Amino acid sequence: MPDRELEILSETDDLWVLNKPSGISLLADRSGAGCLWDQVKAQLGKAYLVHRLDKGTSGVLLIAKTQACQSNLTRAFQARLIGKHYVASVVGDWSARSTRIIDLPLRKGRKSRYRVAGERENIKLRGSTYEVSPGQPDGKVSTTRVRRLKQLPERTLVSAKPTTGRTHQLRVHLAWVGYPIVGDHLYGKPDDPRQRASRLALHCHKLVLPTSDTFVAPLADDFPT
CA dihedral sign, ordered 85, 91, 97, 101? negative
Q: How far apart are CA 132 and CA 199, in angstroms?
A: 30
- What is the tens place of the pLDDT at every residue in 171-188? 999 999 999 999 999 999
Looking at per-residue confidence, does 222 or 2 come out higher?
222
pLDDT for residue 33? 77
Nearest to 202 by CA among 185, 214, 178: 185
- Give the chain's mean pLDDT: 93
Q: Which residues are catalytic?
A: 54
Structural domains in the chain plus CATH codes: 8-79 (3.30.2350.10), 87-202 (3.30.2350.10)
Q: Exposed, middle or buried, 3 (CB in 10 Å: 0-12/13-18/19+)? A: exposed
- The answer to whether residue 213 scores a pLDDT higher than 90 is yes
Q: How confident is the model at residue 82 (pLDDT cuts 50, 70, 90)?
A: very high
Least confident of 11-25, 68-82, 185-199, 205-219: 185-199
pLDDT of residue 135: 64
Contacts of 112 (CB under 8 A, 6+ apart): none
φ/ψ of residue 221, rounded to 5: -65, -25
Mean pLDDT within 190-218 = 95
- In this structure, are residues 142 and 157 in contact, taking their beta carbons and an 8 Å threshold? no
- CB 106, CB 114: distance < 8 Å: yes
**β pairing state of 8-11 and 214-216:** unpaired
Residue of 37, 35, 54 whose CA lies nearest to 45: 37
4 SS3 class = coil
What is the Cα–Cα distance from 13 to 29, expressed in whole angstroms?
A: 31
Say yes or no to pLDDT of 2 above 70: no
Q: What are phi and psi of 137, to 5 degrees?
A: -65, -20
- Please say whether the beta carbons of 146 and 99 come within 8 A: yes
Q: What is the pLDDT of residues 14-44, one digit of tens each?
A: 999 999 999 999 998 877 778 999 999 999 9
Note the pLDDT of residue 133: 84
Structure-model confidence comparison of residues 225 and 158, the more confident one = 158
CA distances from 171 to 72, 109, 189 (A): 27, 14, 13
% of the chain residues with pLDDT over 90: 86
pTM of this structure: 0.94
